[in-house]
A and B are shown apart, each in its own frame.
Chain A
Amino acid sequence: MKKILTLASGLLLLTLVFAWWLNSREPKPVKLIPTLSGQPEYCITCHADVPEISASHPVVTFGCVSCHGGERLALDEDLAHSTMRGGANPSDLSVVEASCGGSNCHSGSEADDRHHIQRVMTSVQSTYAGAIANIRYTFGAQTDLNAHYGINAITDDQTKTDITSLFAFDPASETNPSIQKFGENCLTCHINATPREGETYDRQTGCAACHSTEQHTLATAIPYTQCNACHNRGNYDLRTMTFTERTDHPTQRIDDYYQPIAQFTQCEYTLDCVDCHTRSEVMGDGDLHASQKDIQYVTCKTCHGTLTELPLTKTLTNPNDIAFRMSFLNPIVDLKPGDTIIVTENGEPLWNTRVLSDGTYEMIGKATSQYFTFKPVIGSSCTQSGQDQSSAYCHECHAVER
C-alpha cells in the first residue's frame, strides 16, 4: 500500500511538473487596455509584431477588438479568433458597420461629412449598378438603361437622385445566357468582390480594397497601382462575356497606367488617380447613381479653366474646412488658413493644390509628394471650347506619344 502511495505521489509530482513546464512554454499574457474601450484585451500577446495600421488608429487608443472583434480575453488561438469580424479584414462591407461605423467614426452625419460607409455602400463601386443595367438592357432583360439592380439590395430614402432603391442582382434568375455569363465572369471588380487570382489583382475587399496599400495599413495616399488592381488590368469581351487579361507586362508607369490602346495627356499618367478624382467621385456622395458617368465630374477645366474662366478657387478661412482634415490625414502639404486652393465645380476642395503668386498653380502628388506646376488655359494658345471637356478633346492636342 505504501509503495502504491509513493508511486502515486511521484506520478502526481511528475504530472504537476509537466503541467508547469507546458504552462511555462505558453506566451506570457500581454495586456492592453485601449483608451477607447477601457477594456483589457490580450491580442498583442501573439500579435505584438503587427505594425500600427495608421496614425489615426493607434493601437493604444483603439486596441484590436474595437475594429476586428474577437474574444478579447482569450489566449487560445481558435477561441480568440472565433468571433472576429470579416476574418482578417473587418472593412469587408458585410461587417463594415460594426467594425468601422459609429457616429464618431465612419458612419457619422452627412453634415459633418463623416458618412463614409453610407457613401461607399451606395457608390457605383459597390453597387456596380451601371454595368448591370447596361448588360441587362443590351440583352433585353430590361427596356431602359436605368439602374434597377445592384450587387446587393439597397435602399436610400434620402437620395437626391431618382434612384431610391436597387434590387439584388441574381444572375441565376436571369434567363439570358449572356447575362448569366456576365454574372459568372464579370463581377470581380466591385469593391466587395473577391479579386481575381494573380498578383496584379491583389487587393482586399471593402474599405481596404482602396485604403490598404500594404499589409495592415490604412492610407489616404493611394497610388495608382492600388486603383489598377481593378482598372486597366484587362478588358471584358462582351461577345463571350469573359475577361481578357492584359498581355503586356508594363514596367514603366507610362505604360502601366493605361492600356496600350488608350491615349492620355502627361498629367493623366504622371499624377495618381486620387490627385484629380475627388472623394465623392471615388467613394460616392451618399446617393445611389446609375453609373460612373453620373458621379464622375472632374475634367481638365477643373484645374486648367477655360478660355474665358480661370479654375475655381477658394481661400481657406474656416479651420474646420474639410480641406484641413484631408491634409491632416495625408500631410504632404502644410495647409494653413489663408491658403488659396482650387475647388471643383461641386465645391470639393482639391486640397493638394495651391495658387501661386505668379498666377500659375501647383499640385502636390498625394502618393508621390511630387510638386507639379501648371498654367490656366487663359493666355495660352489653346482654342478648346469650354463645353467640350471630355478627355478625347484634350487628347487631340495634348496626347503623349508612346
Chain B
Amino acid sequence: MSEISRRDFLKLARDGFLYLSGALTLGGLLRFLDYDPNPAPTTEFDLGPALNYPLNSRTLLSAPQAVLLHTENGFSALSLICTHLGCTVEQKTDGFTCPCHGSRFGSNGTVTNGPAEKPLQSLRVEVTDEGNLKLFTA
C-alpha cells in the first residue's frame, strides 16, 4: 500500500471539507426552503376502496373528523365538527352531542339543541373511476 504524501493528504482533507460543507449547506438550505410553518389545511381525503363501506353503514372517520354514510342514495358524509365553536361531536343513538357546550344534533345533522345554530356540515363524497372514495371538506 503506497503511502499518501503530505500534499495529497492536505488536498484530500481540503476537498473533503469543502464537499462536506457544501453538502451540509445544501441540506440546511433545502430543509429551510422545504419547511412550511403555516401550511394550508388538507381539504381532500382518500378513503380507500368504496367496497370497504358496505350499504347501510355509518363509519366514523378520524381524518377528517366526519361520519361516512352509505345509503341507497349513495355515499354522503357529515362533519363531526360542532358548528358552534369547533369541538368534535360524539355519536349517540339519536344523533350527535357536543361534549364542550352541549349542542345536540339529529342523526341527519340538524340542530336539536343549542348553543349551535347551524346544522353539521355536509361533506362532498365522490367515487373515483378506480372505485375509491374521495371526501372533500371544502
Question: Which residues of A line the B interface, CB within 8 A?
Answer: 2-3, 5-6, 9-10, 12-13, 16-17, 19-20, 29, 31, 33-36, 38-40, 42, 55-58, 60-62, 73, 104-105, 112, 114, 319-320, 324-325, 328
Contacts and interface: CB of A to CB of B under 8 A. Distances in A.
B38 A104 contact: no
Contact of B24 (A17, A29, A61): A17
A12 B84 contact: no
B84 A2 contact: no
B21 A320 contact: no
Given A16-B21, A104-B115, A73 B87 contact: no
14 contacts: A2-B14, A3-B10, A5-B14, A6-B10, A9-B21, A10-B13, A19-B28, A35-B87, A36-B86, A55-B100, A58-B87, A61-B85, A104-B84, A104-B115
Interface string B90-122: 000000000111101000000011110000000
B94 to A, nearest CB: 12
A368 B1 CA distance: 85
Contacts of A40: 37-39
Given A36-B85, A61-B85, A61-B100, A73 B37 contact: yes
Interface in B1-49: 10-11, 13-14, 17-18, 20-21, 24-25, 28, 37-39, 41
A39 B40 CA distance: 8
B81 interface: yes
Interface of B: 10-11, 13-14, 17-18, 20-21, 24-25, 28, 37-39, 41, 81, 84-88, 99-102, 104, 112-115
Contacts of A13: 17, 20-21, 24
A199 B10 CA distance: 69
Contact of A6 (B13, B37, B38, B41): B13
B88 A324 contact: no
Pick the 6 closest A-B CB pairs, nearest first.
Answer: A35-B86, A9-B17, A6-B14, A36-B86, A328-B102, A16-B24
Nearest to A112: B115
Contact of B28 (A5, A16, A61, A112): A16
A9 B28 contact: no
Given A34-B86, A40-B39, A104-B115, A324 B17 contact: no
A17 B41 CA distance: 34
Given A40-B37, A58-B87, A112-B115, 10 more contacts: A6-B17, A16-B21, A20-B28, A34-B86, A35-B86, A36-B86, A56-B101, A61-B87, A105-B85, A325-B102
A384 to B, nearest CB: 39
Contacts, number: 80
B101 A33 contact: no
Contact of B17 (A3, A12, A112): A12
B62 to A, nearest CB: 12
A17 B21 CA distance: 9
A144 B41 CA distance: 62
Select the residue from A5, A6, A58 with max chain B CB neighbours within 10 A. A6
Contacts of A5: 14
Contact of B81 (A29, A35, A42, A56): A35
A328 B105 CA distance: 16
B14 A320 contact: no
A16 B25 contact: yes
Nearest to A11: B17
A36 B81 CA distance: 9
Contacts of B112: 319
A319 B113 contact: yes
Contacts of A10: 13-14, 17
Nearest to A320: B114
A32 to B, nearest CB: 12
